[in-house]
Structures are given as C-alpha cells and as structure tokens.
Structure 1
Amino acid sequence: MDQAKKEAALRSAKSDKGGVIYLKEGENRFLKEYEMNVTFKKMLEDSRCPQGVDCIWAGNATAEIELMGTYTRPMTFQLSTTNDARRGTTTTGNFNGYSISLVEVYPQTTAEKGFKARQGNYKIGLKFSKSSNGDGVTTK
C-alpha cells in the first residue's frame, strides 16, 4: 500500500479489530473497552530514514503518551519504533493489565520535510493487548 493510501486509511480509522487505536498528536481519548484515557502528547524524536534516501540505519521515532485508568493516576510512557537497550528505547509499555505497543507512525519524513517540519502533525497507531506478564498498574 502506498503512503497516500496508508495515510487516508489512518485518517478514517479510529480502531480496528486488531486492537489498534489511532491518535493525532495532541489528541486525548477515553477508551471504554480498556477503561483508560489515552493522550498522544507529542513526538519526541523522529530519526527514521526519510523516504527516497538510502540509510545505513532505519532510525527511530519516539512518541510520548499519557495513560490514566479509571482509578489510577496518569503515567507517561515513551514508546519507540525500535527496541534498543543501549539507547533506552522500547516499543511496548504495560498499564492496567494491558500491553500497549507503538506499531505505526505517520507521516514518514522526507528529505524535504524532516522532524521539525512534521511536529504537531504526527499520527500514531497503538496496539492494545492483554498483558501476559502481569506487569503494570492495576485498577482492580
């Protein structure tokens, strides 16, 4: 699927059957099915390889999200597109019995428009799944 079609699908989709929730930068939404409020606060970095450029490293994008359960205080997570212990990045966080993973970041940077030009216009896809390891804050 080309980039324009992906972005169009992202704009029209709110949630899909696979548990992916799409948020625009700055958007806040209460997710009744997960009993939590989710805020995509901002993109912290986007060093992904721009479209049409050959790169040695694929790069990384990191989003700051805030999660708050019905009976819990807010917690801030930094979720990235790569897991890299040396850089301190992770794709997944655990909260209220769910694993929340950053699975998509749009738009892709280009040689003409990098991170600074895209700030405020990002969209992310977060995948929610029941946590199997028992980590995270619990509301019950």
Structure 2
Amino acid sequence: MKEKTLLLFVIILLVNCSSQKSAAKTSAASEKSSMENKNIIYFKEGENKFLKEYQMNVTFKRISEDSRCPQGTQCIWSGVAVADVELMSTTSRPVMVRFSTQEVSGKDFHKSHYFNGYKISLIELTPHPTEKSNAKSLPGQYTIGISITKDLELRDSTTTR
C-alpha cells in the first residue's frame, strides 16, 4: 500500500512539474511577442552608446551577479542576473544603476529605473547559463536589451521600480 501511495505521489509531482514548464513556456512566448513591439536597444558588455534621441549616454559596464538556474537543469529558485549600467545625460553627471532580471525587494533589485525624465527597463539579458557554460565562463559575452520610454510622472532621476 505504501508503494502505491509513493508511486501516486511521484506521478502527481511529475505531472505538476510538466504543467509548470508548459505554463512557463506559454508565458515566455507571450512576453516575447509583447517585447517585440517595444523599441529595444542592445548593448554588448563594455559597450558605450550615445543615444541622441534621448540625449543620454549609456554604458553597459558588467554583469555583477548571475545566479540564474542553468538551462537544462532543475532548480528550487530561478535565480537572478544583475547588470551594472552607467547612465549620463548631457546635463548630468554619470549615475551607476543596477538592472535585474527579476524584482527582488529584499536585495533592492529592479527591472526598471527612472533617469532624466525616462523610464529605462531591462528587457533581455543573454546568454543564459547552461549545464556546459555556467555563469563563471560567460563574462565578456553578455548582451543586454533595454527599452526607454518617456516618464509621464517625471520621477526623480535616481528612483527605481
């Protein structure tokens, strides 16, 4: 009897895991299609661009943390990656901000920051760690995609969300 109960429990866990993966794929696909409608600006690690339209200089300095669960593995927590980006307008000094792949209030990690009348959001961070290429082997290979939109509420240039 105990063996049947244990077998039933394992089957329920596997079905639940499979449905979670399916839901995650569906959510990722819908998120990706909504992202395609945004104007995304890409930066390679170490790259600096002056964005004339926004009168802003953006430099993707580095990835300071990448604890994301490697693709092809199962983890208890999906993890987070943090990109250090320097922002500077034509009328301000440089400001270092940390964009995160997830909102983590306990660590003060945010996907978006407000700067110089704009909301700047991290949309994409690649590559994702895998079983073969973990985060330690990726420095210098990262690329981020950000979107910049006018901040209609005109928050302070140092606020996050």
TM-score range, shorter chain: 0.7 to 0.9
Question: Which whole-Å deviations, capped at 9, do the CAs of 1:36-75 have from their partners, x for residues lacking one?
Answer: 0000000011111111011111110100000000111110
Offset at 1:24? 0.1
Q: Does 1:49 align with 2:75?
A: no
CA distance in 2, matches of 1:120, 1:129: 28
Among the aligned pairs, what percent are the same residue? 46
Paired with 2:125 and 2:69, the residues of 1 have a C-alpha distance of 13
TM superposition score normalised by structure 2? 0.72
Task: Report the equivalent of 2:11.
Answer: none
Correspondence for 1:38 among 58, 67, 78: 58
Shift of 1:22: 0.3
CA distance, structure 2, for counterparts of residue 128 and residue 75 of structure 1: 16
What RMSD in Å do the two structures reach over aligned CA positions? Answer: 1.6
Report the TM-score, using the length of structure 1 for normalisation.
0.83
- Corresponding residue to 2:98 among 57, 78, 89: 78
Q: Tell me the number of residue pairs that the alignment of Structure 1 and Structure 2 aligns.
A: 123
Where do 5+ consecutive residues of structure 2 fail to align?
1-35
Secondary structure, counterpart of 2:65 in structure 1: strand
Q: Radius of gyration: which is bigger?
A: 2
Q: Determine the C-alpha separation between the residues in 2 that align with 1:43 and 1:21.
A: 17
Match of 2:131 in 1: 111
Question: As a proportion of its length, which structure holds more helix?
Answer: 2
1:26 and 2:26 correspond: no
- SS in structure 2 at match of 1:86: helix
3-state SS of 2:77 partner? coil
- Match for residue 110 of structure 2? 90
Distance 1:126 1:38 in 2: 10
Q: How far apart are the structure 2 equivalents of 1:92 and 1:136?
A: 13
Distance in 2 between the 1:103 and 1:57 partners? Answer: 20
